[in-house]
Amino acid sequence: MKAFNKDRSIGKILSNKDKSPLRLYRELTFGPISLFKFLLWELMTFLFGPVPGGVGLFLRRRFYPLMFKECGKGLIIGRNSMFRHPSKIRIGTNVTIDDNCVLDARGSAQNGMTIDDDVLINRNTMIQSKAGDIRIGRSVGIGANSVLVSWDGIGIGEGCAIAAGCYISAGSYGTDDSDKPISEQSAFVKGPIIIERNVWIATRVTILDGVTIGHDSIISAGSVVSTDIPSQSVAHGNPAKVILKRR
């Protein structure tokens, strides 16, 4: 088990009384950037974020890439999507991010959040780094209303299909001190979540920390994956167990 640095948590940052509310908001949303860039990015988000139709798509494609560390051609961003610490986010070519998504790279480490070419992120999806990098490989599709939260890194191989309502995240709190609120006790994580290439994650699957799912595997709907799944396997249940091998 690896201890999670709660000093990076939103609650810890907001509890700092030595900084103004504006400074705290700037650090949470954009990181250590200049006041000019902060105001510019806020203005772009305010003006272009909610604009519907083709005009909105054009404006966001034209101006939003200025926020990111790297951004390829063909970017499509839907209405009201939010990007936190965008200077840590790399986006490849022909990436589509649908309406009302949140991409938060606040807690990422050396490589930040990387979204490779031809990735589709459907609406109402949240991808957040509390700690550790996130990499989403080429031609990955992520279904609507999914949540990916990195405590120690998330890696998704190319060609994976992640259906709607999936939850890829975990971690646990200490429970030894019954006089202390759970939210204030130490948090721990078993390790990164690795999903290798060409894996199908069906609807409403939960994948916990420290798990590796081998390439060309299938996880059936509603399963909870708490241990490693070998390559070319079909797994089902809570906890998910291998029920057959693919040929």
- All domains in the chain, ordered by first residue: 2-245 (2.160.10.10)
Q: Which of 226, 230, 188, 189 lies closest to 205, judged by CA?
A: 226
pTM of the model: 0.89
Mean pLDDT for 57-75 is: 95
Kindly indicate the confidence band of residue 13, based on its pLDDT and cuts at 50, 70 and 90: low
| Mean local confidence (pLDDT), 69-85 | 95
User: Exposed, middle or buried by CB within 10 Å (0-12, 13-18, 19+), for 129?
Assistant: buried
Closest CA to 133 of 115, 103, 153, 158: 153
- Digit-coded pLDDT (tens) for 153-192: 999 999 999 999 999 987 777 777 777 787 777 778 889 9
Q: What is the pLDDT of residues 122-153, one digit of tens each?
A: 999 999 998 889 999 999 999 999 999 998 89
